[in-house]
A and B are shown apart, each in its own frame.
Chain A
Amino acid sequence: MAVNIDPKNTPPGYEGQGFFATTLDKAVGLGRANSLWPLPFATSCCGIEFMATMGSNYDLARFGSERISFSPRQADLLIVAGTISKKLAPILRQVYEQMAEPKWVISMGACASSGGIFDTYSVLQGIDRVIPVDVYVPGCPPRPEQLIDALMQVQEMARNERRDYRQSERYQKRLEKYGIE
């Protein structure tokens, strides 16, 4: 059966009639990268832009993110889109902790990345103060193209991740920096 995979994303391996052999890391990465299930943590205008990205014009589904997960337990990718107040920070952190490994985080827009214009007592000055972030998307709000680019960067990360990375000491140290067990 013909499998429709973009040739430039095909991992290196041995190909013959009816089979294709590659490393397990690459095969797993291929699967993960092309079926990222995003969890939108949309709190404001960036959420609207995220909806546009999901809609038919920009169609995030083309990248295998067809299925928006509204439960953290079935999500691979947390898209934080909008202002996070300090009161909301523990909830965001809990949502992140509830997600199963492997998981990635996109910080969408100026507010999620740095607090944006809300430089005030009640607003968290960047979600990277409570959870680790993989890709930051600048903009207020960012264009859908920028979010698609961020998703493609996450795909690139997923594709090239070592299979044992999530069990590694390096990853544990990264989580420890944020006080996550």
Chain B
Amino acid sequence: MITTEIKESIQSKLGNFVIAVEQHYDFPVYIVKKAHLHEALKTLKEDPELNFHFLTTMCGIHSPENEGAEFGLMYQLHNMPNNWRIRVRAFMSKNDLDVPTVSDIWPSANWQERQEYDFYGFNFTGHPDLRRILNMEEMNYFPMRREYPLEDAWRDDKEDKYFGR
């Protein structure tokens, strides 16, 4: 369980990387600037006291209504010996989706970053092999962005006339 002291010690170690701290359910969420993302995550992993050695998961965020910070990335980290779990977030504008890769810090980020590229189109700079992982390679858009219809565009049997609308 993560205590207030630990939360504060993490914050002091991250220093001025942190813009804001939030609490989502059991997770302290540290919001950092994208420019500091790599350094902050490296500190969290390599600092012997913090020791967030496991990247549980990461995910992309697309909120088109947040102008200037439409896209975001969330990293969920785990310190297994102490069972501390935290999240780190960074937001960016839709015109600048270059994000430094963390696959050099956690090798498991390799495929997870490929997934975020596949669904949101983040460009992970320094990634060894950034290509689609789940969708077919011919796909020419990023389906989890909130700018495409959920329904399949090929479908021709769901026209209103078939439903008497």
Contacts and interface: CB of A to CB of B under 8 A. Distances in A.
A125 to B, nearest CB: 5
Interface string B44-81: 00000000000000000000000000000000000000
A145 interface: no
Contacts of A122: 134-135, 143
A115 B152 contact: yes
Given A120-B150, A121-B143, A122-B143, A87 B136 contact: yes
Nearest to B143: A121
Given A86-B136, A87-B135, A87-B136, A121 B148 contact: yes
B155 interface: yes
B129 interface: no
Nearest to B137: A87
A119 B152 contact: yes
Contacts of B148: 121
Among B134, B150, B155, max chain A CB count under 10 A is at B155
B158 interface: yes
A163 to B, nearest CB: 36
Interface string A95-112: 000000000000000000
A115 B143 contact: no
Contacts of A87: 134-136
Contact of A120 (B134, B139, B152, B158): B152
B93 to A, nearest CB: 25
A53 interface: no
B154 interface: yes
A21 to B, nearest CB: 49
Contact of A119 (B136, B139, B143, B155): B155
A65 interface: no
Q: How large is the interface on A (under 10, 10 to 19, 20 to 34, 35 or more residues)?
A: 10 to 19
Contacts of B150: 119-121
Interface string B124-157: 0000000000111001000100001011111101
Contacts of A129: 154
Interface in B7-43: none
A121 B157 contact: no
Nearest to A85: B136
Given A86-B136, A87-B136, A122-B135, A114 B157 contact: yes
A123 interface: yes
A120 B135 contact: no
Nearest to B151: A119
11 contacts: A86-B139, A87-B134, A114-B157, A119-B150, A119-B158, A120-B151, A121-B143, A121-B152, A122-B143, A125-B155, A129-B154
Interface of A: 86-87, 114-115, 119-123, 125, 129
Given A86-B136, A87-B136, 20 more contacts: A86-B135, A86-B139, A87-B134, A87-B135, A114-B157, A115-B152, A119-B151, A119-B152, A119-B155, A119-B158, A120-B151, A120-B152, A121-B139, A121-B143, A121-B148, A121-B150, A122-B134, A122-B143, A123-B152, A129-B154
